[in-house]
Amino acid sequence: MAPKPQSPARLIALDGSRGTDITKSAERLAAELRERGITCVISRWDASGLFGELAQNDQRGTASARTLSLVYAADLAFRLRWEISAALKDGAVVIAAPYVETAIAFGTSRGLPEQWLRELLRFAPAADVQALACERKLERGWKPRLDRSYPEYCAALLAPSASRRLPKKLRADVIATLRSARGRRVYHLEGKGLAQAVKAVTGNQPASSSPPSSRPRTARK
């Protein structure tokens, strides 16, 4: 029996604008990696429970975009300590879904300086692989949901009570900011992007139970 391939202890940052898309993309990527025998852990937003408790304390929605960015940083510090660093230490691949770019894209779309956000989150180590979730329903804005993702949570808290759906433009801005990353390779987890991201993590390690190719090798001349 072949020895189980050793996990490469990599950090994958997976960002996006909608909780459902981030979760689905993270799970697909994790499944691909696990098929290759790699131990994979997903670190999700609000692992600290701060946002959940904060929503209970802030029924009137008094928190500003800057205040929420600081809470995001505190939550990320918690995730880094209890989930990300611990799993990396054990040699696992960690998918941080979301990581720093989601907070930066949302913050800048609400008028916060990018430099302030980057400096605030500078304690987070750079990811080995950077990926973007497969975004669906692009024509829609966010539904104000407190339990899905950071942007949707902020949409629920920051939107004036009259408009229950934040403008589509804001989500479009966040997606545009996420896609405008320069200087680094960013994998879009749709189509070939998923396979490329997997390859970036594993090298050329094949899936242990990959389906047979359509034309068996023995049939070749």
Partner 1 sequence: MARTASARTLKQLIAEREGTRGLLIAFEGPDGSGKTTQRKLLKTWLESEGREVVSTRWASSPLVQPLLKVRKKIRTLSTQEYSLLHAVDFRHRIETSILPALWAGKTVLADRYLFTALARDAARGLDLDWLLHAYTPLLWPDLVVYFSMTPEDSQRRIASTRVPHFYEAGQDVTGIDDPLASYGQFIDRVVTEYQNLAVIFKFVTVDSGDAVYRQHTRVRELVESAEKRPWPVYSKDAVEEWLRNPKAPRA
Instruction: Give the C-alpha separation, 164 to 166, whole Å.
Output: 7
- Residues 119-158, one symbol each (x = binds partner 1 by CB under 8 A, - = not), give xx-xx----------------------------------x
For the chain, give me the number of helices (H) and strands (E)? 9, 5
Residue 129 burial (CB count, 10 A): 22
Question: Should residue 47 be labelled a site residue for partner 1 when binding is judged by CB under 8 A?
Answer: no
Whether residue 144 has a cis bond before it, omega within 30° of 0: no
Contact window for partner 1 (CB under 8 A) among 1-9, 13-21, 48-56, 134-142: 48-56
62-70, 185-193, 201-209, 211-219 -> range binding partner 1 (CB under 8 A): 62-70
- Rounded CA-CA distance 58/7 in Å is 42
Q: Which is nearer to partner 1, 106 or 187 (CB)?
A: 106
Q: Is 4 in the site for partner 1 (CB under 8 A)?
A: no
67 binds partner 1 (CB under 8 A): yes
- Are the CB atoms for 197 and 129 separated by under 8 Å? yes
Write the single-letter amino acid at 139.
E
Question: How, if at all, do strands 40-44 and 129-132 pair?
Answer: unpaired
Asked if 89 interacts with partner 1 (CB under 8 A), we say no
Whether the CB-CB separation of 38 and 123 falls below 8 Å is answered with: no
Residue 98 C-beta: closest distance to partner 1, Å: 17
Cβ atoms of 154 and 65 closer than 8 Å:
yes
| C-alpha closest to that of 106 among 21, 177, 55, 164 | 177
| Binding residues among 168-207 for partner 1 as defined by CB under 8 A | none
Q: Which of 1, 3, 62, 184 binds partner 1 (CB under 8 A)?
A: 62
Q: Is 70 a binder of partner 1 (CB under 8 A)?
A: yes
Site for partner 1 contains 74 (CB under 8 A):
yes
One of 24, 44, 66, 136 touching partner 1 (CB under 8 A): 66
**Is 58 an interacting residue with respect to partner 1 (CB under 8 A)?**
yes
Site stretch for partner 1 (CB under 8 A), options 100-108, 111-119, 141-149, 164-172: 111-119
